Amino acid sequence: MAYIVGGAGVSHSPQLSIEPGGWRAHGDLEQPHLKELNLPSSPRTPEELAREIEIRQIEARHKACQEALERTRDELLEMKPDVLLVVGDDQRELFLDDIMPAVAIFRGESLDDRPPGMEVYPKTMESAYEYYHADVDETYRTVPELGQHLVEHLVENGFDIAQFSEQPTGRSLGHAFTFIYRRLFEGLPRLPLAPIMLNTYYPPNQPTPRRCVELGQGLRAAIESWDSDLRVALIASGGLTHPIIDEGLDRGLLSALERHDHEALAQIPVAGLTEGSSEIRNWIVVGAALEDATAKVVDYIPAYRSTVGSGCGMGFLTWTRSL
C-alpha cells in the first residue's frame, strides 16, 4: 500500500513574494475590489494596527515569513515524498459558473498552467506573479492511477465526488497548486501532483468544516488502500484568515490541529470562513487525514498591511510520521 509520510500547511499569499515596501500599497482599501467585499471589522484597535504597519514591523514580519517558508520546505524534503497530494481551492481558474463542484479530483495524465497574464491582477502583485504563473504554458505531471483510486474509494464510502480527466479549454491550473511548486519548492525537480480541489469560496455548496474532517479521514483511508509503494505527502495550500486578519481564529485552528481535536475543527463557525479565510477548509482536510502524525506549528505571522486590519494570517505547520 502507499505510505503517507506526513505533510504541511502553508499560506500562499502574494505578500510572501512582495517586498516589505510594497505591503501597504497592496493593502490600499481604495482598491475597488476591497471596497465591495463588505469586510468585517478587525478585532485589533486602530492604535495596534498603526504599529503593525510601521515599516520596521513589516520588515520583521516579512523576514519571519521567508524563514518559515524555508523551514517548511526543508521539513517536507526530509520526508522524501514521491507524490505531492495538494488540497487547494480553485478561484474561477478551472471551474466557473457552468460547474462549481464542492470537491473535485483530477484523474488525467497532466494539467497545464495557462498563464492569464499580469493584467488580470492588481499592479501591486507584479513581483508575486511569477510565483503563481509561468510566462508560457507549462505542464504539471499528475498521477492518474491515484486520482482514479481516490474517486472510486471515496464514492464507495459515501462521498459524492466530481471527477474529470480533461482540462477545460482555455482554463488554467489554479495558483493554490502552482504556488507550491513555483514558490515553496522553487528551483527543485517537480514531483508528480495529485490535486484535490475544494470549493471553499463560492456559495452555496462549500463543504462544512465537519464534512472537511470526514473528507480528510476518507482521503487517508483511500491513500493507504492504494496498491502502490509510493510515498505521499499531503499539503494544505492557502489561508489563513484574510483579507481581514482574525488572529484568534487562526491561533485556535493551529492549536486544534496540533492537538488533533477533530471536534473543535468541525465546530469552526462557517460565518468566519468567507473570502480568503475560507481556505482554512483545506487545512482541516489535511489535518484530519494526518491524525496520527506529530503536528507542529513552524510559525504564525499576522502580516498586516493596512490600518483596517487587512493582510494575511500566514500559517506554516508540518505533520511528521514515524517510519
The pLDDT value recorded for residue 120 is 86
- Residue 166, domain member (yes or no): yes
- For residues 98-133, b (16+ Cβ closer than 10 Å) or e, as one string? eebbbbbbbbeeebebbbeebeebeebbeebbebbb
- Residue 191, domain member (yes or no): yes
19-23, 38-42, 186-190, 293-297: segment of lowest average pLDDT:
38-42
Distance CA 34, CA 183 (A): 25
Task: Count structural domains, the chain.
Answer: 1
- Residue 31, domain member (yes or no): no
Above 60 in pLDDT, residue 199?
yes
Contact between 254 and 286 (Cβ < 8 Å): no
- Mean pLDDT for the stretch of residues 253-274: 97
- Mean pLDDT for the stretch of residues 185-209: 97
Confidence of residue 28 (pLDDT cuts 50, 70, 90): low
Q: What percent of the chain has pLDDT over 90?
A: 89
Give the 3-state secondary structure of the chain: CCEEEEEEEECCCHHHHCCHHHHHHHCCCCCHHHHCCCCCCCCCCHHHHHHHCCHHHHHHHHHHHHHHHHHHHHHHHHCCCCEEEEEEECCCCCCCCCCCCCEEEECCCEEEECCCCHHHCCHHHCCCHHHCCCCCCEEEEECHHHHHHHHHHHHHCCCCCEEECCCCCCCCCCHHHHHHHHHHCCCCCCCCEEEEEECCCCCCCCCCHHHHHHHHHHHHHHHHCCCCCCEEEEEEECCCCCCECCHHHHHHHHHHHHHCCHHHHHCCCHHHCCHHHHHHHHHHHHHHHCCCCEEEEEEEEEEECCCCCEEEEEEEEEEECCC
- Residue 202, domain member (yes or no): yes
- Residue 201, domain member (yes or no): yes
Contact between 203 and 55 (Cβ < 8 Å): no
Note the pLDDT tens digit of each residue in 151-179: 999 999 999 999 999 999 999 999 999 99
- Mean pLDDT for the stretch of residues 288-294: 97
- Residue 289, domain member (yes or no): yes
- Mean pLDDT for the stretch of residues 128-148: 97
Above 80 in pLDDT, residue 44?
yes
CATH of the domain at 93: 3.40.830.10
Comparing 41 with 100, the larger pLDDT belongs to: 100
- Residue 56, domain member (yes or no): no
- Residue 19, domain member (yes or no): no
Above 60 in pLDDT, residue 34?
no
The pLDDT value recorded for residue 32 is 53
Comparing 191 with 37, the larger pLDDT belongs to: 191
The pLDDT value recorded for residue 38 is 67
Segments forming the whole domain that contains residue 103 = 3-11+80-300
The pLDDT value recorded for residue 36 is 65
The chain-wide mean pLDDT, for the chain, equals 94
Above 90 in pLDDT, residue 46?
no
Above 50 in pLDDT, residue 30?
no
Comparing 9 with 123, the larger pLDDT belongs to: 9
The pLDDT value recorded for residue 33 is 57
Above 70 in pLDDT, residue 82?
yes
